[in-house]
Amino acid sequence: MIQYLLHSVAIPVGSTLLVVGGAYKLFGERLTERLFGHLLDERLQKEKERHAVALANLKHEQDAQIEDLRAKIAHLSDRGKHSNEREYAALSAIWEKFVDLYYATDQCVVSVIQYPDLTRMSEAEIGEFLDTTEFDKAQKAAVLNSKDKNASFSHIVRRILISKAQSIYYEMKLFLHKQGIFIPKSIKEEFDAAAELCSAAIAHRYVEERGARLDRHDDLEFRSRGPKTLETIKDHVRDRLLREYDPQARKA
């Protein structure tokens, strides 16, 4: 009987313990899952926040670099624009001054002087004629007092042409020295060489006008090389200023 009672009591108790144990196990697993899930969520959230901060910092750094690059590009573009403007202005002006020098030198070398025969004119007529020239007072008096008025007149005209050419040469060299920094080095060197060709011819005429004779014939050298030099520089300046379209160059 007692054994039966114990057995009867043991079965419910055992069942209860089994139920309680199972419930505890199930609750513990769920609790563990929830705790693990919560910890995982927290870790993921922290990782998200960390990555978000890192991404924001990277974006800020990249934006700063982009703005700095834009500023540099804008600066270079602006400087390039002003550089092109300075080159255009300088090259145009230097070309004009060289043309002045070339033709002043040509006049000096050729010395084609047209004037009436002063020996057939009265002193009053010669005086009126001299008033139409650029002779100063001393030069006019020199012609009037000369025995060979035609020779005196020609001599003074040649000296005036030489003096003008010298003045234009020094003016161009000074301008080229100041503005040459804005033009390509190769073109500046061409201008320098051409100016020296003119200078040598002017110097030759200067010395000969004073009675000396030279072994070199720089005046003839100018007459020989001058025209081609002028055209070559003109082509280079035109190409630089106008950027002419050349189909053959494009194909090459």
d(CA 102, CA 97): 9
What is the pLDDT, as a whole number, of residue 128?
92
Q: What is the DSSP string of the chain?
A: -HHHHHHHHHHHHHHHHHHHHHHHHHHHHHHHHHHHHHHHHHHHHHHHHHHHHHHHHHHHHHHHHHHHHHHHHHHHHHHHHHHHHHHHHHHHHHHHHHHHHHHHHHHHHH-------GGGS-HHHHHHHHHTS---HHHHHHHHH-SSHHHHHHHHHHHHHHHHHHHHHHHHHHHHHHHGGGS-HHHHHHHHHHHHHHHHHHHHHHHHHTT---SS-HHHHHHHHHHHHHHHHHHHHHHHHH----HHHHH-
pLDDT at 72: 47
In tens, the pLDDT along 158-190 reads 999 999 999 999 999 999 999 999 999 999 999
Residue 182 contacts residue 204 (beta carbons within 8 Å): no
Question: Which has the minimum average pLDDT: 7-11, 185-189, 192-196?
Answer: 7-11
The arithmetic mean of pLDDT across residues 190-199, rounded, is 97
| Pair 64, 161: CB distance under 8 Å | no
Map out the domains of the chain as residue ranges. Answer: 90-244
Both tokens of 176, joined, read: 């080229």
| Averaged confidence pLDDT in the chain | 79
Q: What is the pLDDT of residue 111?
A: 77
Predicted pLDDT of residue 17: 47
pLDDT on residue 13: 47
pTM of the model as a whole? 0.64
Which of 141 and 114 is assigned the larger pLDDT? Answer: 141
Q: What is the pLDDT of residues 35-61, one digit of tens each?
A: 666 666 677 777 777 877 777 776 766
